Chain A
Amino acid sequence: MPTLLIAIRNLFGERGRFIITVTGVTFSVVLIIVLQALYQGWTAKMGQYIEAQDADLWVAQAGSRDMSHSISLLPSSAKQTITDLSSVASVTPFIGKRVGLEIKGKDRIIYLVRYDPTATVGGPVKLIEGRANLSAGEVIIDRVFANNTGFKLGDTITVGNESFTIIGLASGGDLVAMSFAFISPADADRLFQLPNLTSYFLISVSPGADREQVAQAITTAVPNSIVYTKEEFIEINGQFIREAFLPIILVLVLIGVATGIAVIGLTIFTSTIEKAREYGVLKAIGATGGQLNRVVAIQSLTSGLIGYAIGVIVSFLLGIIVGRFVPEFVVRFRLFDFAWIFALAIVMALSAALIPTRRIASINPADVFKA
């Protein structure tokens, strides 16, 4: 294919310009991939604690939504009501409260959870350091929170006018803007001041039972309640990220796409203008307009695809390296995202290639006889 030969020779014949184009595309692709991965990462993070709990259903107060932004209060007595329903294997109350702390001059939020070390659900997802058997005056915090604040095992956290000694570091309890911390039932009951109330009930249904049916039964039995399946509750907890960040991400993705098109478009356009004479010669010799457009399109696509490939690698490296130093940099790469961003890179390259086609069409082959 002469068009491929000419396109590739032109691209690599102008190395400086080629590097600029590829760098521009890489930048745009990295921007889009990383944003998307952060978005996915954060959304996943909002649901990871729920995901890790061995509970099929979450019973919450009617009208409450996610754990980060709404409050759910249910009467503790409902535990018995639910336990009495058929197909319910276990019911565990989960009571927690968001508290704001000032740590070393910075405002932080933790979600304090009443944790009974004998319970099988509603505790830390995974203990990384220290121990889990809480006594009064002790707290287990999340590793991410420890990283952000510099707290270590044995340090003291002050909540209101009470002090807690850190006896354990756990993972899986970070919600980006806040994290779970676990205190003993005695401390929680005194601190929360919510007698006979709980936030949620975590339900395991009997093996083989229909979760939807059990959920329906609970909703009917417990007034003023709403029952989410595990998947629904994960979804609802990620919704805030979706609503808050999707419009921003959309704008940034558009900026990324515009940058990509502009960089490829400008370099390919200047290259076409510089090479107008050569395109004229090809026309005079007998190349068709389609063949010349193909030369431009191949150059544009090659830049786009190489930029995409480098962008994928750079994004992965950023995910690994930055994630190590910035705990909030939680990325989650999905094959689906790589696929649509790949398609986007192709669209970007082809749109950029449209810019010089008019210029090529306007070249008069008779002009090549002019010296």
Chain B
Amino acid sequence: MIELRHITKVFGAGDTTVRAVNDVSLNVRPGEIVVIMGPSGSGKTTLVSIAGGLMKPTDGTVTVDGQDITTKSERQLPRIRLTTMGFIFQSFNLLSNLSADENAAIPLLLAGQGKTEALQKSREFLTRLNLSHRLHARPRQLSGGEQQRVAIARALVNNPKVVFADEPTANLDRAIGHQVMQLLCSVGCEQGKSVVIVSHDERIKDVAHRVIYIEDGKLVREEPGQHNRVCTMKNHSFK
């Protein structure tokens, strides 16, 4: 569950201020997949960074899993991100010297789990994402689609409440990108995560429950997605 209340972000000062996000409010329920679309520079990344506790808003509050993260200190935020959030990036951002299963196990290890246990869990996730044959490969030995699936495993392995993905398909071939998003959404949906995906890719709309459009930092439009085509909800109902 994630709630954004009147989020505003202003960069710079004086003549050069940029209002990157302008009074955006948004709720994402557990098991719900929201895609944020909008032109370049409209404030999508800024919004997701604030929602993910990586950036402080100028105004407004972010509540994740019941706690207001905008009031948390820099010392408290890493733990909150580690235990309640998962992140997926455009350029995959795997650790180049670690194997696929080690990469996906990182959040568990950072949280203090034993290596054997962590690797076992990570391998389960990778197997679910059809990577059982690539567990020990290094990122450079993997295709883009495979790397992004490892990144998805890494984002989900800690059983977070919320998953943020910024342009997760931008570096992927369209068909592959779509498959990878279907995987993310079916797993996310099935496990009752709130998933926020920023994308330019129109085809991703069909994995979402809702599509939100922002322009110049403002939420301008919202339309329902066609999630039911790919994601059958098992444990959740929406009111």
B82 pairs with A5, CB closer than 8 A: no
Contact of A366 among B54, B91, B102 (CB under 8 A): B54
Restricting to B76-111, which residues have a CB under 8 Å from any CB of A? 78-83, 85, 87, 89-91, 93, 95-98, 102, 106-107, 109-111
- Stretch in A216-224, A225-233, A243-251, A277-285 with 4+ CB within 8 Å of B: A277-285
CB distance from B83 to the nearest CB of A (A): 7
Size category of the binding interface on chain A: 20 to 34
CB distance from A271 to the nearest CB of B (A): 11
B96 pairs with A285, CB closer than 8 A: no
With A5-B115, A284-B87, A286-B79 already in contact, the answer to whether A366 and B49 are too (CB < 8 A) is yes
Q: Complex Cα distance A2/B166, Å?
A: 26
Restricting to A255-293, which residues have a CB under 8 Å from any CB of B? 277-278, 281-288, 291
A13 pairs with B81, CB closer than 8 A: no
Contact of A369 among B48, B81, B115, B171 (CB under 8 A): B48
User: In this assembly, does A6 line the interface, its C-beta being within 8 Å of a C-beta of chain B?
Assistant: yes
User: In this assembly, does A9 line the interface, its C-beta being within 8 Å of a C-beta of chain B?
Assistant: yes
Q: Complex Cα distance A282/B91, Å?
A: 14
- Determine the residue in chain B with the shortest Cβ distance to A371: B90
B170 pairs with A284, CB closer than 8 A: no
B166 pairs with A369, CB closer than 8 A: yes
Q: Complex Cα distance A366/B115, Å?
A: 28
CB-defined contacts of A6 to chain B, threshold 8 Å = 95, 97-98, 106
A278 pairs with B87, CB closer than 8 A: no
CB-defined contacts of A369 to chain B, threshold 8 Å = 45, 48-49, 54, 89-90, 166
User: In this assembly, does B55 line the interface, its C-beta being within 8 Å of a C-beta of chain A?
Assistant: yes
- Determine the residue in chain A with the shortest Cβ distance to B92: A281
Contact of A9 among B82, B91, B98 (CB under 8 A): B98
User: In this assembly, does B146 line the interface, its C-beta being within 8 Å of a C-beta of chain A?
Assistant: no
Contact of B107 among A14, A285, A366 (CB under 8 A): A285
Contact of A371 among B80, B91, B98, B111 (CB under 8 A): B91
In terms of DSSP, what is the predominant structure of the interface of chain B?
mixed
Contact of B110 among A2, A10, A365 (CB under 8 A): A2
In terms of DSSP, what is the predominant structure of the interface of chain A?
helix
Contact of A287 among B48, B78, B93, B166 (CB under 8 A): B78
Q: Complex Cα distance A256/B48, Å?
A: 50
Contact with B along A1-40 (1 / 0, CB 8 A): 1100110011011100000000000000000000000000
B106 pairs with A282, CB closer than 8 A: yes
Interface size on B, residues (CB 8 A): 35
Contact with A along B35-60 (1 / 0, CB 8 A): 00000000001001100101100000
A5 pairs with B102, CB closer than 8 A: yes
CB-defined contacts of A278 to chain B, threshold 8 Å = 93, 95-96
- Determine the residue in chain A with the shortest Cβ distance to B49: A366
With A369-B166, A371-B91 already in contact, the answer to whether A291 and B96 are too (CB < 8 A) is no
CB distance from B236 to the nearest CB of A (A): 26
Q: Complex Cα distance A281/B95, Å?
A: 9
B167 pairs with A286, CB closer than 8 A: no
CB-defined contacts of B95 to chain A, threshold 8 Å = 6, 9, 278, 281-282
User: In this assembly, does A310 line the interface, its C-beta being within 8 Å of a C-beta of chain B?
Assistant: no
A286 pairs with B81, CB closer than 8 A: yes
Q: Complex Cα distance A13/B167, Å?
A: 29
A365 pairs with B54, CB closer than 8 A: yes
CB-defined contacts of B78 to chain A, threshold 8 Å = 283, 286-288
Contact with B along A114-131 (1 / 0, CB 8 A): 000000000000000000
CB-defined contacts of B110 to chain A, threshold 8 Å = 2, 282, 285-287, 291
User: In this assembly, does A101 line the interface, its C-beta being within 8 Å of a C-beta of chain B?
Assistant: no
What are the 3 A-B residue pairs with the smallest beta carbon separation, nearest first? A286-B82, A13-B97, A2-B109
Q: List 11 A-B contacts (CB under 8 A).
A: A2-B109, A9-B98, A281-B93, A282-B95, A284-B54, A285-B154, A286-B78, A288-B79, A368-B87, A368-B89, A369-B90
Given A286-B81, A286-B85, 8 further pairs, Cβ under 8 A: A6-B95, A12-B97, A14-B97, A284-B81, A285-B87, A286-B110, A369-B90, A371-B171
